[in-house]
Amino acid sequence: MSPATPNILLGAPLIELSTIDSTNIYAMAQIKAGLAKSGSCYTADFQTNGKGQHGRVWESSKGQNLLCSYILELNTLDVLKNWTPADQIGFSAAIALGARAFFSAFAGSETKIKKPNDIYFSDRKAGGILIENLVRGPEWTWAVIGIGMNINQTEFSPEALNSVSSNPISLQEITNQSWDVKKMQQHLSDALNDAIHDWLLKGNEKCIELFETYCIEIK
């Protein structure tokens, strides 16, 4: 893959929303309406129908966490490359690595990845990623990268806490301090951009190998 990439991949412009059904739904609608700018990040204080893996709903208190969707048009990375669905595995690994790097920078080395792309601290879920892709014929054209990260929330529903598949924890609970969510958004964007640059430079295979080193199994 070509290492020649633009300076800004994800995070600009930043579009701040208040209450919305789902940032992923909103972002996908913007793409389909021809209104999307590659690199845009749509954030929300609250989602009424946040999307998780396998149709699950993402639980989050208003204004306490990172709830966002980034959009990326693949040909902005390399107009000469024929981007195909085969590249999505490496890309997904890169996004998970970036999200893990972001959270571990503040929470520490117990931050891991639960396949396919949940972020865990020890045996508790700190964040989740949902990537939705647009493919036209054989070409992979757009990616919508939905990310939810527990930052300042300290109370979760009993259903979530008693669930083996979630059992959530936040950065505030880990560090005993509150965090500026807007500043954390920029840190997340920076970490994702670093991870994408590494993926473009090193390729799918190396990225997936590194991804595997951070993966854990939660029974």
Q: What is the predicted pLDDT for the residue at 165?
A: 57
Helix, strand, or coil (residue 125) = strand
Q: Tens digits of per-residue pLDDT, 69-114?
A: 999 999 999 888 999 999 999 999 999 999 999 999 999 999 999 9
Q: Which residue has the tokens 């980034």?
A: 70
Helix, strand and coil content of the chain, in percent to the nearest 5, comes to 35, 25, 35
Q: What is the predicted pLDDT for the residue at 219?
A: 66
Q: Which amino acid, residue 186?
A: Q
Q: What is the predicted pLDDT for the residue at 13?
A: 95
Give yes or no for a contact between 78 and 4, defined as CB atoms under 8 angstroms apart: yes
Q: What is the predicted pLDDT for the residue at 196?
A: 96
Phi-psi region of 108 (alpha: psi -120 to 50; beta: other; left: phi over 0): left
Residues 6+ apart with CB under 8 A from 158: none
* Regions of the chain short of the pLDDT cut 70: 1-8, 49-61, 158-166, 219
Q: What is the CATH number of domain 14-216?
A: 3.30.930.10
Q: What is the predicted pLDDT for the residue at 218?
A: 77
Q: What is the predicted pLDDT for the residue at 59?
A: 59
Q: What is the predicted pLDDT for the residue at 160?
A: 59
